[in-house]
Structure 1
Amino acid sequence: MHGPGCKHDHDHGHDHAHAHGHDHGHGHEHAHAEKHEHGPGCSHDHGHDHGHAHGHAEKHEHEHGPGCSHDHGHAHAAKHEHGPGCSHDHGHDHGHEHGAGCDHDHDHGHHHHKPKRIRPPGHRPAEGGGAALQLDLEGALPGETDDVGRFEKLEAAIEAHRGVTDVHLRRDAGHPEVCIHYKPEVVSVSQLLTAAQRIGAEVAARYKHQTWFVRGMTSADAATAIEHGLGKLKGVLTASVAYASERLVVEYDSEEVTLKDVEAKAKQLGYALEVPSSGHACSHHAHGGGLAPLLEMPLVVVSGVLLVAGWAIEKFAGLPALVPTIVWALSMASGGFFAIRGSLKSLLQLRVDIETMMVVAALGAAVLGAWFEGAFLLFLFAAGHALEHRAMDRARRSIESLGALRPEMARVRRSGDVVEVPVGDVQRGERVVVRPGDRVPLDGIIREGKSSLEQAAITGESLPVPKKAGDEVFSGTINCEGLLEVEVTRLSSESVLARVVDMVAEAEAQKGPNQRFAQRLERTVAPLVMIGAVVFPVVLVLLGTPVKEAILRAVSLLVAASPCALAISTPSAVLSAVAAAARGGVLVKGGIYLELLAKVNAIAFDKTGTLTVGRPKLLSTVPAQGVSREELLGTAASVESLSAHPLARAVVEAAAEGGIQAPAGSDCEAIHGKGIRAKVGADTVDVGSLALFEGDAVPAEIAAEVSKLEEAGQTTMVVRRSGRYLGVLGVADTLRAGARNVVHTLKDYGIERTVMLSGDNAKVAKSIAEQVGLDEAKAPLMPADKVAAVREMGRKGSVAMVGDGVNDAPALAAAAVGVAMGGAGSDAALETADVVLMSDDLSKLPFALGLARQATHVMQQNLVIALGISGILIIAAVFGLTHISHAVVLHEGSTLLVVANGLRLLAIRPPAMKRAPEAAVGVQPAVG
């Protein structure tokens, strides 16, 4: 354990060696390095600039040794375990698990953007030649994802700057960038950067975005209605509706329009908006508000019964023709109740939608005396809608069921008593009591008791996980054995579960290419159909067709061409896939990432914490001639007990297991990236890699031993005491259970290249890559080299980067899809990645990949079904080969077919994984 705060960096096997460059969320690089007062003689080497302010959401707990007197004046996220006598003066709220300086405001009502990764500016030439500067879109305009709305304001403002010739959105680097073309002779890069940042800040302050629940949407078409209606509001830049999850995201100019105006306008359109409460996928009020959803099915049934009755009366009862006509009229009224209401709404806004077309068609038929056809048309239309709503509700409920796992009440210990309190009222730092069999109400840390918890709700693992005091627990998990006292670290609206539900519910609004294609098509098709429906009968009549037949044919054209199925084809698939993934412990943050993941043909893995567990073990002790194992290990442990480096901990643990007493060392000095030097008694002891002894004559047998252990995939440390070499220690990380199987499965899935990126030495990296079955290993790499390596791979195809989300955020950001592991425990992973595996189980990776591919196939099938059936019907209608009734049956049938096809994805479950014992990396040579 590093003593007096000795920051050790044996560049031996640990990528996280570099992850410790503490960037405490101060704007300037380590200007605070002099604030740290370390114990005697410890030369802290903070030499790296980690640009990302994920602060300390680091997994590696720094344990400060004795006498550490840090004064970190900032929000510490790392779980610091302080040694004795540590006089930390933090003076602030540790409760926040977010990175230092992370300004998280989880009031999801007004989406204060979750901090996402921000990539450094790029400088690639403009497409047509000339100079261009690229800024990460997230950095320039937080929360923006496309080139409409707020982006256009930014574009106009930057283009007004002198020397700027053009501004546009560029995605060729695998993520959205603002590309600014400029004249280098007129304006310098630094001037441009400052201007862009200033303009970006102004645009971001003035143009905001907000998410609502929409109540009262009856069809996918209502989404278009809302987007269209709100889009006309002065000051609204874009309005996009996720029909499947009933969310509306509006970008607006806060100086021209208020949220109240938007809500009023929506009300005028006939839809109620409500600010969603965090962690709930469904609205507080019944869907659609009021009676609508309850009445829908009964009215359809009534309509159907009347329809059949009218037909029977006409056929067999011999009553006057007026009777069946009245029965059919009643059938039309009940079947078309909601459709008629909806079409009146849209006609008042001078807008024509599918419902209006259907109602016009039905009334047209009735006027011409075809009452049966009219009633049949509305009956089928209503039945199709009712069934589709049922189906979409099922998908929504499967998301809501994720959040329903959270108890409503918590048992809180207050002034000696245990009281039942609603979870929303529990504050940070309070203690909740969790009995065996209860669900954990809020995220926190166990302070008393030990138990095993079933975490399927969060990570998808069905086997209970043992937990003891000091471990983290999540709301929604089940306590299987003992009584626990948990200190609350996150409020109920910020819990991992709430964030997962929110991200899943909003995933569909992040539209992928297939979804965008369907929307564009739908927007072009509807007006064309309306024009066609007016022009077509006129042409027919001029060609000599009887008026009645001409109008009936026009009506069937209307029915045939209305793009209902198209509108719902992708949302149903995206919603179902994202819900199924979340249930299996995989969080996909948007429809777009499903489509990107399906295209991936190369995968890069971080080594430490991803392929390996990240807990090194001492495997070999090789004492020199005439030295006992006790002396070698004891001396090394004395020095390493002053260090908190994972390798040091492995040595200390091994000495403790062997019962070797190690006298405490003093005067620690860390030699960056090479090892550690300290005093044991009066002797100077050096422990580190061969690089530490450069320029000294290292005995040949020691050097030979080092290369032998490194060949076997171990990280070596040479021990020298006052000039006498005592021997070599070999340490290796443990491979993750099942890592090899996962790599083979990925190969079966057609992944062409698998690469490991590691900060470790090349021999160790190569040895592990061979054991896991990867194509190649790239090592040793600094975080910046990892980014370069991912970009390099990205040139040849679509690449996914898998890491633990802590020190590999920039590399995750550089890949087409960033996949983070262990999202339940790390905020950094939840924020930075596009796809998050909630547990530390790599086997979820093939599951996520397979699901994404299936979802993409389903979207494509749905587009083919929707367009195919419409196409056939349009041709049939134009040539008069079809009756209205046939057209309606096929049209509604195709809508139900695409919804059902999408919902198939809900049934996908991850394969059950057997937990294998962890295998140690490296071949164990005989212990000398």
Structure 2
Amino acid sequence: MNEENLKKDKSVYRVQGFTCANCAGKFERNVKEIPGVEDAKVNFGASKISVFGKASVEELEKAGSFESLKVTPENSNQTSQNTAKEDKGEKVPFYKKYSKLLYSVAFLVFGYLSYFVNGEDNILTTLLFLASMLVGGLSLFKVGFQNLLRLEFDMKTLMTVAVIGGAIIGEWGEVALVVILFAISEELERFSMDRARNSIRSLMNIAPKEALVRRNGQELMIHVDDIAVGDIMIVKPGQKIAMDGVVVRGHSSVNQAAITGESVPIGKAIDDEVFAGTLNEEGLLEVEITKLVEDTTISKIIHLVEEAQGERAPAQAFVDKFAKYYTPIIMVVAALVAVLPPLFFDGSWETWVYQGLAVLVVGCPCALVISTPISIVSAIGNAAKKGVLVKGGVYLEEIGSLKAIAFDKTGTLTKGVPVVTDYQLLNAQTDGKELLSIITALEYRSQHPLASAIMKKAELERINYADVQVEDFSSITGKGIKGIINGVTYYIGSPKLFKELSSITFDKKFEKEVSILQNEGKTAMIVGTEIEILAVIAVADEVRDSSKEVIQKLHKAGIKETIMLTGDNQGTAMAIGNHVGVSNVQAELMPEDKLNFIKQLRAKYGKVAMVGDGVNDAPALAASTVGIAMGGAGTDTALETADVALMGDDLRKLPFTVKLSRKALNIIKANITFAISIKFIALLLVIPGWLTLWIAILSDMGATLLVALNSLRLMRVKE
């Protein structure tokens, strides 16, 4: 079946009941064997499975029967009800949730009491230990036996073999203790994974499930699923916005921290975009709905974050591959420990079989398997809450090892909105406001991209230009514009235009002033008539206040080269580049030049990021190791094409992302090293014969707990 048909037949289901990453992998393999299923992919981080082909819920649950998994279609009412219950905090009481474990512990305690009173070989003592084992480990044994029959080797197989062996040699008490400790270890693993997942689940609860909508002259509370594009939503002060839309009436300030990570509320007026999940702080807003509930920005963020959690990072791929060969090797080592000393060195069969069983238990790769997924889920969840969308574990790892970062200039290092920076009158007799009114009237008729800056200045200073009558307006290609006002011909344009007007004296002093403005990265426009120069007006794309600070932080963090790429002229580019402090400036570039430069950087440094707006810079973003898009909120292209999206228009999130990535890399490496080291140290205890079953399981449980807690630290990394 080709890829297009696979996509058509894709169904996504939520899965309840995963206890470990190994179990998720087994479920995936079982689903692939269902007739009619072409492929399946489990997302352990998000507790979901994508099925390509046809399979019923019953067939999927049968494939997960080894762990009593519950499967529901992603968008079904049942899933919504389950989520709603979780949202309301309807939790199962502790004693009910852990009843088997509690009963198992009780039998174990009574077993040890009987052991001290009646002795080890007493039938009551043995029965109490046996009851503890069966109550606490029946589900474990069922799966373990099935795995043994199929020659599948995972943690539960190792534990089952160890328990059977321990029972055969009469170590009832220790075996019962091992079963309980293993059950506690699994619960800890599940708990820590749920904590990490809840960081994303909390995003789902941001947007209200109902909204006040005006229909046919009536105001009704309607569920978001029933709201249509074009409906008018009324949002009162202090309420959360339920849907994406455009303001059609009212003005207010909106706290967008949930989407963009910006702590300062943003002013919203007519024609401004608002997002679901944001908080209306002051005024009453009427909003025209522009997207259905499943297409809102917050829905896309949640979907992309969940998909990102399913993407295996290189470290996770290594662990998965390692664990695949590690478990059978441990079984062989355990068999050799149990058999070789008695056969060749006159060792006691009972002692060395016991040591072999302890090797099996210590060999459980719980800590190793969980070391990476919890780290990835925690880091991606934390980033999403801070307004940074990382679209996979692979990108999270790549950011941490970047050597160079390239920046687009317009809209990234600068605000992307031109403003008037200088307005100098050359004749004291000239009325500045009247001349600005004439300039604006002429620029209003032009198509020049900088005209908007002049119009904005006139509006801020409340200068009327709409009533100014302009005759014979014309554009002088590549040089400027001209028009007749009150019988006088006015020109606005480059120095080149005025140098061609022979009736005007263009002195050296004035030329130097224009040159200074240009060297500051500004576009200087001269204003005059056929007989004299009246003023010079300079326009520039304002540099973001944060750009200089961000570049400094990146250099301090060890980024070797920061490069600004722009289509602007060399003078403007150098002025802005020097101001923000980038180490390299590349000017007068076409989009294909940017792409070629990124390729050169990759050849030089290996790993390079490109920061752009996600639209004009798409080729360069795609060619970089990590493509980072600015202002992803509301920009579908940025969300879809970039590997990382900074949801707010805030470059300060970039150093935080680098910091989080490096922390994640360090924690993953520490987790893997620690998990393998603790196993190795425990295995060394076999040589003097000091390894016991309870030491083996405690080392495994301790390693799992420490690895999980270490990973959860990533949820607390701050900007």
Give the TM-score normalised by structure 1: 0.70
Q: Which moved more, 1:405-414 or 1:532-541?
A: 532-541
Matched-pair contact (CA < 8 Å) for 1:638–1:680: no
CA distance in structure 2 between the aligned counterparts of 1:471 and 1:299, rounded to whole angstroms:
56
- Is structure 2 residue 458 aligned with structure 1 residue 655? yes
Matched-pair contact (CA < 8 Å) for 1:632–1:719: no
1:700 maps to what in 2? 506
1:741 maps to what in 2? 549
2:518 maps to what in 1? 710
1:569 maps to what in 2? 371
1:13 maps to what in 2? none
2:356 maps to what in 1? 554
Paired amino acid for 1:762: Q
**Which deviations, in whole Å up to 9, do the C-alpha atoms of 1:494-535 show, x marking residues without a partner?**
111111111112212222211111111011112323344445
2:202 maps to what in 1? 401
- Which secondary structure state, in structure 1, belongs to the residue aligned with residue 42 of structure 2? strand
Paired amino acid for 1:597: I
CA pair 323-692 structure 1, distance change in 2 beyond 3 A: farther
CA distance in structure 2 between the aligned counterparts of 1:207 and 1:448, rounded to whole angstroms:
41
Paired amino acid for 2:442: V
Matched-pair contact (CA < 8 Å) for 1:639–1:680: no
2:24 maps to what in 1? 223
CA distance in structure 2 between the aligned counterparts of 1:875 and 1:679, rounded to whole angstroms:
95
User: Match for 1:435 among 225, 236, 255?
Assistant: 236
* 1:480 to partner: Cα distance: 1.2
* 1:440 to partner: Cα distance: 0.5
* 1:742 to partner: Cα distance: 1.8
- Is structure 2 residue 647 aligned with structure 1 residue 847? no
- Which secondary structure state, in structure 2, belongs to the residue aligned with residue 433 of structure 1? strand
Matched-pair contact (CA < 8 Å) for 1:618–1:650: yes
CA distance in structure 1 between the aligned counterparts of 2:711 and 2:574, rounded to whole angstroms:
43
* 1:442 to partner: Cα distance: 0.6
- Which secondary structure state, in structure 1, belongs to the residue aligned with residue 416 of structure 2? coil
CA distance in structure 1 between the aligned counterparts of 2:93 and 2:321, rounded to whole angstroms:
30
CA distance in structure 2 between the aligned counterparts of 1:897 and 1:558, rounded to whole angstroms:
21
CA pair 364-727 structure 1, distance change in 2 beyond 3 A: same
- Which secondary structure state, in structure 2, belongs to the residue aligned with residue 351 of structure 1? coil
CA pair 332-290 structure 1, distance change in 2 beyond 3 A: farther
CA distance in structure 1 between the aligned counterparts of 2:591 and 2:491, rounded to whole angstroms:
28
CA pair 354-792 structure 1, distance change in 2 beyond 3 A: same
- Which secondary structure state, in structure 1, belongs to the residue aligned with residue 55 of structure 2? helix
User: Match for 1:815 among 615, 619, 624?
Assistant: 624
CA distance in structure 2 between the aligned counterparts of 1:402 and 1:823, rounded to whole angstroms:
17
Q: Which moved more, 1:690-699 or 1:355-364?
A: 690-699
Paired amino acid for 2:353: I
CA distance in structure 2 between the aligned counterparts of 1:266 and 1:681, rounded to whole angstroms:
84
**Which deviations, in whole Å up to 9, do the C-alpha atoms of 1:182-206 show, x marking residues without a partner?**
xxxxxxxxxxxxxxxxxxxx64345
2:677 maps to what in 1? 868
* 1:304 to partner: Cα distance: 2.5
CA pair 344-719 structure 1, distance change in 2 beyond 3 A: farther
1:604 maps to what in 2? 406
Alignment of 1:207-222 (within 5 A): 211-222=12-23
Paired amino acid for 2:239: D
- Which secondary structure state, in structure 1, belongs to the residue aligned with residue 562 of structure 2? strand
CA distance in structure 2 between the aligned counterparts of 1:671 and 1:545, rounded to whole angstroms:
101
- Is structure 2 residue 28 aligned with structure 1 residue 260? no
- Is structure 2 residue 555 aligned with structure 1 residue 752? no
Paired amino acid for 2:655: P
1:195 maps to what in 2? none
Structure 1 portions without partners, runs of 5+: 1-152, 154-201, 253-257, 911-928
CA distance in structure 2 between the aligned counterparts of 1:771 and 1:708, rounded to whole angstroms:
15
CA distance in structure 2 between the aligned counterparts of 1:671 and 1:282, rounded to whole angstroms:
66
Q: Which moved more, 1:675-684 or 1:818-827?
A: 675-684
Matched-pair contact (CA < 8 Å) for 2:408–2:612: yes
* 1:400 to partner: Cα distance: 0.5
Alignment of 1:500-539 (within 5 A): 500-534=301-335, 536-539=337-340
2:610 maps to what in 1? 801
2:170 maps to what in 1? 369
CA pair 553-737 structure 1, distance change in 2 beyond 3 A: same
1:636 maps to what in 2? 439
CA distance in structure 2 between the aligned counterparts of 1:778 and 1:515, rounded to whole angstroms:
38
CA distance in structure 2 between the aligned counterparts of 1:381 and 1:319, rounded to whole angstroms:
23
- Is structure 2 residue 74 aligned with structure 1 residue 276? yes
- Which secondary structure state, in structure 2, belongs to the residue aligned with residue 549 of structure 1? helix
Structure 2 portions without partners, runs of 5+: none
User: Which structure has the highest helix share of the two?
Assistant: 2
Matched-pair contact (CA < 8 Å) for 2:260–2:388: yes
| Superposition RMSD in Å | 3.2
CA pair 867-691 structure 1, distance change in 2 beyond 3 A: farther
* 1:545 to partner: Cα distance: 3.4
Paired amino acid for 1:700: F
Matched-pair contact (CA < 8 Å) for 1:678–1:686: yes
Alignment of 1:268-347 (within 5 A): 268-270=63-65, 271-277=69-75, 284=83, 297-316=98-117, 321-347=122-148
- Which secondary structure state, in structure 2, belongs to the residue aligned with residue 729 of structure 1? strand
User: Match for 2:586 among 778, 781, 786?
Assistant: 778
- Which secondary structure state, in structure 2, belongs to the residue aligned with residue 801 of structure 1? strand
CA pair 278-754 structure 1, distance change in 2 beyond 3 A: farther
2:394 maps to what in 1? 592
Paired amino acid for 2:328: P
Paired amino acid for 1:495: T
- Is structure 2 residue 666 aligned with structure 1 residue 857? yes
Matched-pair contact (CA < 8 Å) for 1:460–1:583: yes
CA pair 809-640 structure 1, distance change in 2 beyond 3 A: same
**Which deviations, in whole Å up to 9, do the C-alpha atoms of 1:18-67 show, x marking residues without a partner?**
xxxxxxxxxxxxxxxxxxxxxxxxxxxxxxxxxxxxxxxxxxxxxxxxxx
CA pair 898-829 structure 1, distance change in 2 beyond 3 A: same
- Which secondary structure state, in structure 2, belongs to the residue aligned with residue 766 of structure 1? helix
CA pair 699-323 structure 1, distance change in 2 beyond 3 A: farther
- Is structure 2 residue 266 aligned with structure 1 residue 465? yes
Paired amino acid for 1:742: V
Matched-pair contact (CA < 8 Å) for 1:214–1:246: yes
CA distance in structure 2 between the aligned counterparts of 1:889 and 1:498, rounded to whole angstroms:
42
What is the aligned length? 703
* 1:889 to partner: Cα distance: 0.5
Alignment of 1:685-696 (within 5 A): 687-690=492-495
Matched-pair contact (CA < 8 Å) for 1:615–1:646: no
CA distance in structure 2 between the aligned counterparts of 1:309 and 1:713, rounded to whole angstroms:
83
CA distance in structure 2 between the aligned counterparts of 1:671 and 1:299, rounded to whole angstroms:
86
**Which deviations, in whole Å up to 9, do the C-alpha atoms of 1:118-143 show, x marking residues without a partner?**
xxxxxxxxxxxxxxxxxxxxxxxxxx
Q: Which moved more, 1:540-549 or 1:764-773?
A: 540-549
CA pair 892-672 structure 1, distance change in 2 beyond 3 A: farther
Give the TM-score normalised by structure 2: 0.89
Percentage of identical aligned residues:
37
**Which deviations, in whole Å up to 9, do the C-alpha atoms of 1:422-444 show, x marking residues without a partner?**
11111111011111111111111
Paired amino acid for 2:44: Y
Matched-pair contact (CA < 8 Å) for 1:674–1:691: yes
CA distance in structure 2 between the aligned counterparts of 1:745 and 1:235, rounded to whole angstroms:
54
- Is structure 2 residue 285 aligned with structure 1 residue 484? yes
Matched-pair contact (CA < 8 Å) for 2:145–2:160: no
